[in-house]
Amino acid sequence: MSFDQKEMFNLMYKLARLTVPDTRVEYDSMGPVSVPLDRLFGPQTMRSVMNFQIGGMEERMPRPIIVALGMLKKAAALANQDLGLDPKVAEAISSAADEVISGKLYDEHHFPLVIWQAGSGAHTNMNVNEVICNRAIELLGGQMGSKNPVDPHEHVNKFQCSNDGFSSAVNIAVAMELQEKLYPALRRVIDTLGQKQQLWKDIIKIGRTHLMDAVPLTLGQEFSGYKQMMTHSRERLDSALSRLYQLSLGGCLVGTGYISPKDFSSKCVKQIATITGLPFVNAPNLFEALGCRDELVELHGVLNAIAASTMKIANDIRFLGSGPRCGLGELQLPENEPGSSIMPGKVNPTQCEAITMICAQIMGNQVAVSVGGANGHFELNAFMPLIASNVLRSIVLLSDGLEALNKNCLEGIQANTARIKSIMNESLMLVTALNPHIGYDRAALIAKTAHANGTTLRQEAINEGITGADFDNWVRPENMLGPE
């Protein structure tokens, strides 16, 4: 006995209804699928749930990407209305997209798909299409899953595909996360470091190179270096961000724009710029925009550089604060919580430890992003979920880590001026001030003799025939802070 396709679908429908309670049956091009009654997604989402059970809910597609796709679908609906889409359908899609943008539907688990799926993000693109479609149908008083009067392909996804849609949503999500999280965190850290630079501009301390004593500088000068490192990081971020504003919308499948009206992409991108308040534009070359994700690789390279700078600063601070009595002890770090379950009174530089672990994780993410960026084959990069999730995770970790470091460490750091003065006065490298007066070799002999005998530079200089008055006049740390 043979069945035509419709009869086969009907039989499968009946079987699904018999075997899976509390579900509805929806159809896609491969047949019927049972979908939980309390979920807005449809058959293609359900197939991905069944076929990609990898990692669980903790590996879900990041919320910012879902929000960005909501913005993109809203913009597309408005653009399509200008191009002839039924205004009632466009309005329903737009309203449903607003609920996606709010994050409400994400929190209700209507977006269950994990990162590990189709490399173009096709499953998540369809997940969003189905959720918006079914919610729009509800808003119009229709039957969820009926595809009437709204269809996920014909209306929500009109003139788009996952290739240009998902890739554009990734750029939108990353750009917004940078503006909302990382930029404010960087700004606060830079401001705090600038305040410490001014506050400590007159505190003279010993410098260190190769972890060994060097000539003096001020604590303010030392922190000015930290401030400049983070300022340069922000400037590099500005440059990388400008490329993220170029969206691949309109490229459709391979970059030619086939199936898309000429004006669709420009109208859609203009709507996205309005919705986000960010200066998104059409990419100048859609083949590049689809075939590679160099802008994200470049951006994560900047995040990696920020991590390297932050790790250097955090390590310097915890070493300068080591002790309190048996370390350097030049800085007094805030005491936030007990540091040991067995050593009473111990306090540790926990904020520095947390941010340096974050930096290490970002450096690991850099490897994944680089490998993903290198795997753009022909007209599509099929590592987009991997790249996007790692970039977004690095932004969140770095932003939150910098905020915590600033609030719970940097703002409360105090200078231990007594310890700073004591260490500086004991340093043998103040002998450098004698170079212009007695020469390198003779000055080196004084330093080595003082170190061997456990005496002071002044005492050994006098033993070498230098008067105490000359020594006191020549070896003045306050005169060693800049050019002659």
Q: What is the set of active-site residues?
A: 210, 340
Q: For residue 140, give the DSSP letter.
A: T
C-alpha neighbours within 13 Å on the C-beta side of residue 80 = 25
Q: For residue 62, give the DSSP letter.
A: P
Q: Which residues pair with 45 in a beta bridge?
A: none
Contact 211, 472 (CB under 8 A): no
Dig out the tokens for 449 from the structure.
């003799």
Rounded CA-CA distance 435/54 in Å is 67
Contact 114, 59 (CB under 8 A): yes
Reading phi first (left if > 0) and then psi (alpha if -120 to 50, else beta), residue 159 is in: left
CA angle 192, 198, 203 (to 5 degrees): 115
Q: For residue 303, give the DSSP letter.
A: H
Name which of 25, 28, 14 is nearest 129 in CA terms. Answer: 28
Angstrom CA distances, 115 to 9, 21, 121, 308, 468, stand at 30, 28, 8, 27, 72
Angstrom CA distances, 406 to 103, 297, 299, 411, 426, stand at 29, 27, 23, 6, 32
- How are beta strands 380-381 and 376-377 bridged, if at all? antiparallel
Contact 227, 190 (CB under 8 A): yes
Three-state DSSP at 467 gives coil
